[in-house]
Structure formats: structure tokens, C-alpha cells
Amino acid sequence: MMMANDKRDIAAKGGNAEVQDFLNKLAATPTAHAAKGRGRLLFAMDATASREPSWDTACQIQGDMFAQTAALGGLDVQLAYYRGYKDFRATPWISSSADLIPYMTRVRCLGGQTQVERLLRYAVRETTKQRINALVFVGDCLEEDVDQVCTVAGELGMLGVPCFLFHEGLEPTASRAFKQIATLTRGAYCRFDATSAAQLRDLLAAVAVYAAGGRKALSDFSQGKAQAVLQIAHQMGSKPS
């Protein structure tokens, strides 16, 4: 499947330029809130063996993200991950970071193939039951048929669920595929490495707050927060939620 580049594809640039591109994509993404109920964020992680060195750091980043959104009182979170031989798991939908963090810290990485297509199919099923406002994925590679993965991403895009993909490292196949998933779902892609953990934490928190309450909640949340969050709030300030 050949995909034409559009404004959702982020080229491999230096840190600040790439982060700014991501913020631009987030600012342009419509907020998909259900008519009733709380915002819902599906947080998905690759837990195969290649992720083990950075898993502890990722757990801390996730904990910060959920702690930041807890004050909103309007976000339910589900952690989904894959690892080992066809091992795919998802927690219940949880409204408290204190309840979710223990699930994260108990996860142990196991060698195996990626299961991004299975993850996206799961997201399709979940959002047909009750709308998911955003999907966040953190991973480093993709070992599947890109056309099949993108087909399911297209289904998710038609259901109005934006995917925000955070790519650890430089693996080129994953980079191309993750950008296409972002394009098909009207989400965004951003690459990070061990030196940009703080930026990743801020960006994840911004997406979570955005999923919980839209631009107004993000603007309120941004007061006194890191520069990346302030930039998002500034870009969204003139646009209605």
C-alpha cells in the first residue's frame, strides 16, 4: 500500500523541530468526545524483549501522565500490551492512576513478534462498544504486513479514533508504518529516544488531557507546566473545542 505524504507525516528531524511538528498535528486533530460520559484513552505498549531496557522508564512516564490527568476527573484509561508468543492483554478501564500503575509495574517483557494489527483490531472492537477518544502507542519496531496493519488503521480512522504513535529508536520499517497509521487515523507520529524522556512525558500528558477534556481542559492544565504543554495550549487557544 503506497501512501502519499501529508501533513501528518513527520520527517526525521532534530528534536525541537520534530516535537513542534507533533504539537501542530495535535492542535489540528478534532476532539472526538462522546455525547455522554468521561473521556477514554487506550494506552498501548510493545512489551517484547527489545523494549526491556527502557520499560522501567516508560512505566514512570506513564505514571506521570495518568497522575497529571487525575485532577481532571474525566478520563478513563486502559493499558493494552503484547509480548511473547501471541500474548495480548488489556486491563479493565480504570479511572484512577493509583489503580492503573500497579498493572504497569507488574508487566515483564518477553521475546516475540509485534502485534500491532491485533492491537488496532482490539481498538476497533472497543470503540464500537463505547467510543475511545484517543489511542496512544509506544513501540520500537513492526514485523508485520504493513498493508494489513494499515487496512485496520483505516477502519479505526473511519470510527474517528486518532492514534498518537511514539516511536523509540530509528527502525525505518516501523517509522514508515507508524506514520501511515497516524495519517489514516488523523493522529500524529513522534520519534523519541532515551535523551528525550522528559519531552515524551510532557507530550503524553498533553494527549491524555486533550482526550479527557479537549482544548479548554488543556489550556487550564498548561498553566505552570512544561514548555511543550504551553505550546499546545497556545496553538489551540483560538480554536473551539
Top-ranked range on mean pLDDT: pick from 68-82, 90-104, 199-213: 90-104
How crowded is the C-beta side of 85, counted as CA atoms within 13 Å? 0
- Whether residue 223 has pLDDT greater than 90: no
Instruction: Take residue 5 and report the three cell numbers written for it.
Output: 505524504
Ramachandran angles phi, psi of 239, nearest 5°: -115, 140
Rg of the chain over Cα atoms, rounded to whole angstroms, equals 16
Q: How far apart are CA 174 and CA 186, in angstroms?
A: 18
Q: How far apart are CA 189 and CA 129, in angstroms?
A: 26
What whole-number percentage of the chain has pLDDT above 90? 30
CATH topology for the 37-236 domain: Rossmann fold (3.40.50)
Residue type, 96: S
- 199 forms beta bridges with none
Identify the burial level of 82 via C-beta atoms within 10 angstroms of its C-beta, where 0-12 means exposed, 13-18 middle and 19 or more buried.
buried
pLDDT, one tens digit per residue, over 165-220 is 888 888 999 999 999 998 898 887 887 776 667 777 777 887 787 787 776 776 77
Closest to 163 measured CA to CA, from 41, 69, 1:
41
Closest to 115 measured CA to CA, from 81, 90, 152:
81
